[in-house]
Amino acid sequence: MRPVRTAARSMLAAIFVVQGWSAFTNPGRLAGKATKITERLEPGIKAIHPNLPTEAETLVRVNGAAQVAGGLLLATGHATRPAALLLAGSLVPTTLAGHAFWEVEDPAERAQQRINFLKNMGLFGGLVLAALDKEGRPDLRWRAGRTYKRAKKHLKDSSPIPLHHR
């Protein structure tokens, strides 16, 4: 199943690498739409540290860099779970700023923005699945339960006094 996971992660990552690079190298074309989101984020950013940048172009560039980095990590199979979470997080402001179809009056443009919004929701769902994917390995709960059962059996088999009499 590994080749399928590798191909799927690469396909999912491709849009983030391409669009993230575009945002990183040319943030000005997205800054206008991003302003409504960056203005809302400014108080939170300033609360974290007063010297962090809050201008729309800089935040678009940072988001683009995060998408490129996360996309490359996801595509190459390195730190796939954190990369998927990073990409999912970067997709939220991108979607809210770029595809707010509920604010568009023109029916044709509204329909196009709704499609892009839903596409991003689909990408978000794929990223959640990628973040939860353990590549077929059992999770910690299963391994802990198995270890407990083995230890209990080992103690029962090696104990001179039955466990139920202690």
Q: What is the pLDDT of residues 71-106, one digit of tens each?
A: 999 999 999 999 999 999 999 999 999 999 999 999
Burial 82-92 (b: 16+ CB within 10 A, else e): ebbbbbbebbe
Spatial distance between the Cα atoms of 73 and 68, rounded to a whole number of angstroms: 9
Q: Work out the number of other CB atoms within 10 angstroms of the CB of residue 136.
A: 8
Q: Residues 2-14: what's their mean pLDDT?
A: 92
Asked whether residue 152 carries a pLDDT value surpassing 90, the answer given is no
Please list the alpha-helical segments (H only) found in 26-139: 28-48, 56-76, 80-98, 107-132
Give the up-direction half-sphere exposure of residue 103: CA atoms within 13 A in the CB hemisphere. 9
Spatial distance between the Cα atoms of 130 and 134, rounded to a whole number of angstroms: 9
Which helix (H) or strand (E) element contains residue 99? none
Supply the pLDDT for residue 141: 80
* CB burial of residue 101 (10 Å; 0-12, 13-18, 19+): middle
More confident residue, 155 or 24: 24
Band of residue 165 on the pLDDT scale cut at 50, 70, 90: low
Supply the pLDDT for residue 1: 53
Supply the pLDDT for residue 163: 59
Supply the pLDDT for residue 143: 77
Supply the pLDDT for residue 139: 72
Supply the pLDDT for residue 161: 64
Distances in Å between the alpha carbon of 124 and those of 119, 120, 132, 136? 9, 6, 12, 21
Supply the pLDDT for residue 50: 92
pLDDT one-digit tens code per residue, 125-136: 999 999 998 777
